[in-house]
Structure 1
Amino acid sequence: MKISTKDLVLCALFAAISCVLAQISIQLPFSPVPFTMQVMAVYLAGIILGAKKGFISQLVYVVLGAIGAPVFANFTGGVGAILGPAGGFIIAFPFMALIVGCVADKCRTKAYIIISMVLASVVCYVFGALWLVLVTKISFALAIKTAVLPFILFDMLKIIIVSIIGINIRSRIISGGLA
Structure 2
Amino acid sequence: MPINLALLAVFAAGGMLSAAEAVFAVLLFLALGGAGLPVFAGFNAGLGALAGPTGGYLIGYLPAAFLAGVFCKERRSFARYALGMLLGLAACYILGTAWFVISAKAEIWHALSICVFPFLPGDAVKIALAAFLSLKVRKALACRAQK
Both structures adopt the same fold (TM-score exceeding 0.5): yes
RMSD: 1.3
Does residue 44 (structure 1) correspond to residue 8 (structure 2)? The answer is: no
Q: Where does residue 6 of structure 1 map in the other structure?
A: none
Q: Where does residue 72 of structure 2 map in the other structure?
A: 104
Indicate conservation of the 8 Å contact 1:96/1:120, yes or no: yes
Indicate conservation of the 8 Å contact 1:66/1:77, yes or no: yes
Report 1:116-135 matches (<5 A).
116-135=84-103
Q: Where does residue 35 of structure 1 map in the other structure?
A: 3
| Structure 1 residues without counterparts, runs of 5 or longer | 1-32
The Cα shift of 1:142 comes to 1.0
Report 1:11-30 matches (<5 A).
none
The Cα shift of 1:108 comes to 1.2
Q: Where does residue 85 of structure 1 map in the other structure?
A: 53
* TM-score of the two chains, using structure 1 as the length reference: 0.78
Structure 1 consecutive aligned stretches of length 4 or more whose deviation exceeds 4 Å: none
Indicate conservation of the 8 Å contact 1:65/1:71, yes or no: yes
Indicate conservation of the 8 Å contact 1:50/1:100, yes or no: no
Does residue 72 (structure 1) correspond to residue 72 (structure 2)? The answer is: no
Does residue 63 (structure 1) correspond to residue 28 (structure 2)? The answer is: no
- Distance in 1 (CA, whole Å) between partners of 2:139 and 2:107 is 44
* TM-score of the two chains, using structure 2 as the length reference: 0.94
The Cα shift of 1:175 comes to 2.9
Q: Where does residue 114 of structure 2 map in the other structure?
A: 146
- Distance in 2 (CA, whole Å) between partners of 1:166 and 1:160 is 10
What SS class does the counterpart of residue 81 from structure 1 fall into? helix
- Distance in 2 (CA, whole Å) between partners of 1:115 and 1:176 is 27
| Structure 2 residues without counterparts, runs of 5 or longer | none
Q: Where does residue 140 of structure 2 map in the other structure?
A: 172
The Cα shift of 1:107 comes to 2.4
- Distance in 1 (CA, whole Å) between partners of 2:103 and 2:28 is 24
